[in-house]
Structure 1
Amino acid sequence: MDTRSIKWTPRSEDISGKVSELFEETREYIEDVALSGYSLCINQSMLGYEHFESTYPVEWQSEYARRRYYVGDPVVTWAVIHSGDKRWSDILVPDMRNIMKKARTHGLVYGAVFCRSGRGKCSFLNVARDDRELTLQEMFRISDLFSNFIDILEKEPRLTQGELDVLRCLSEDMDVKGAAEYLSIAESTAKGRLANARKKYRCKTNYFLITRALTEGSKSKLGKSRN
């Protein structure tokens, strides 16, 4: 993928809430290692990215965006065509615009990139320090954390038939008690199925659960007639 054709802008999909929630457990360790900041880009494609966040110095972020450094950035170039982990110092892509030299003036002296790609998209995490290279232990730990994070992020929730049955009843204006009676199950069982489904979709209420299920892959199953 040629970085000159990349749109460094957000796509219409809004997954920031989901990313922020799932990344929370990983963020603490990343921040301990990335003393000069980190940047996280999720599902970058030719159409743009679905989520981006950075804790790099604000001055560097502004300069980077204003001068479009992503065009020619050797780290970004490496990330969009590879899947794996690499210290910045080991990346052999030519730095024609001296971007890495300019980054060092903002404390981004040492760093590493962790990239996971598939289905025409790539997600990558950059971590930076100003004092030393990342140790092998830090590289392995961040690699594992990032891989697990991406796996969970991309995993589509799957509802059981029982969970779908209760949701279908609620979507047709039944309450939980009515759904239990219709399905010939205990009310506590219906509540348990709803609780499991809410956990899978990370929803606090049944209303948002039904909305998420309708929009994220269960629409055809949820919309089946009860007859």
Structure 2
Amino acid sequence: MVWTIVPEMAHLDARLRAIAPMGYSLVIHVRSLTPEHYVSTYPERWVEIYTERQYAMFDPVNLWARTHSGRIRWSEVPVEKLSPAGTLIMDHAREYGLNYGCGVSRSRIEEYGTLSCLFCAREDRELTDGELDEVEGIFKQLLASIEAARPLSEMERAILSDLANGLPYKEVAHRQGVSTETIKKRLERIRNLLGARNSVQAVAIATKRGLILNQPASGPE
């Protein structure tokens, strides 16, 4: 999907492979551990193990990314403080040549429940400051291209999120500060953009694609 959305993806992929010979992992707009876009060039067996053992829950670099926006070398991550299993995961990664690396993250979990990050790995040495600059620049370029191509605005995703959580049109309209008729018109546009027959299907499509996060209400406000 990223390859069709980002026109310059072939060039960016080539640059990332040059900087990170052991592979890179790009995840965009992760919600409930489900990314809207995912690319990985890590060793295939490592990806299988990482997925099967659910390392993402305890990976210290991933844990750092969830709570930070910025960049960091793997060697700078406080492994022992973030997860008791962190050292074991990092040691296991080294068996596949993932000795050195960096992470670039944009955490918007508190605002929108989303996380986007790019991880890169080398076997031979630490990444230079110049390489970190380039990885961070590529990450920002990818995010900008993908978000520019997204079919739904933040407001439209908020409407679908409210519907997913069981709110009636009247309450959704109140939250948006508009009339119920305006919400219905916006939903018509949303259905057309997603190719949905009705609002229920629009919510289902948006949830499956990771565009919204279905969060149960915590109680009366």
TM-score range, shorter chain: 0.5 to 0.7
| C-alpha spacing 1:74/1:215, structure 2 compared with 1 (3 Å) | same
Q: Structure 1 stretches of 5 or more lacking a match?
A: 1-14, 159-210, 217-227
d(CA) in 2 for partners of 1:40 and 1:19? 14
- Of residues 48, 69, 91, the one that matches 1:83 is 69
Partner of 2:90: 100
Deviation at 1:18, TM superposition (A): 4.2
Deviation at 1:28, TM superposition (A): 1.2
Q: How many residues align?
A: 150
Q: Larger Cα Rg: Structure 1 or Structure 2?
A: 1
What is the root-mean-square deviation of aligned Cα atoms in Å? 2.6
Partner of 1:52: 38
Cα pair 1:37 1:57 within 8 Å, conserved? yes
Cα shift readout 1:91-113 (whole Å, capped 9, x = no counterpart):
11434221001000100000000
Partner of 1:38: 24
Partner of 1:130: 123
Q: Structure 2 stretches of 5 or more lacking a match?
A: 152-188, 195-221
Q: Does 1:71 align with 2:57?
A: yes
Cα pair 1:75 1:113 within 8 Å, conserved? yes
| C-alpha spacing 1:93/1:155, structure 2 compared with 1 (3 Å) | same
Q: SS of 2:143's equivalent?
A: helix
| C-alpha spacing 1:150/1:52, structure 2 compared with 1 (3 Å) | same
Deviation at 1:26, TM superposition (A): 1.4
d(CA) in 1 for partners of 2:148 and 2:66? 21
Cα shift readout 1:4-45 (whole Å, capped 9, x = no counterpart):
xxxxxxxxxxx5454565533311110101111111111112
| C-alpha spacing 1:157/1:59, structure 2 compared with 1 (3 Å) | closer
2:99 partner letter: V
d(CA) in 2 for partners of 1:28 and 1:20? 14
Partner of 2:114: 121
Q: TM-score, normalised by structure 2?
A: 0.61
Q: TM-score, normalised by structure 1?
A: 0.60
Cα pair 1:34 1:129 within 8 Å, conserved? yes
Partner of 1:148: 141
Deviation at 1:120, TM superposition (A): 2.2
Please list, as runs of the form range in 1=range in 2, the aligned pairs for 1:3-14 lying within 5 A after superposition: none
d(CA) in 1 for partners of 2:47 and 2:66? 20
Larger relative contact order, structure 1 or 2 (CA cutoff 8 Å, min sep 6): 2
1:52 partner letter: Y
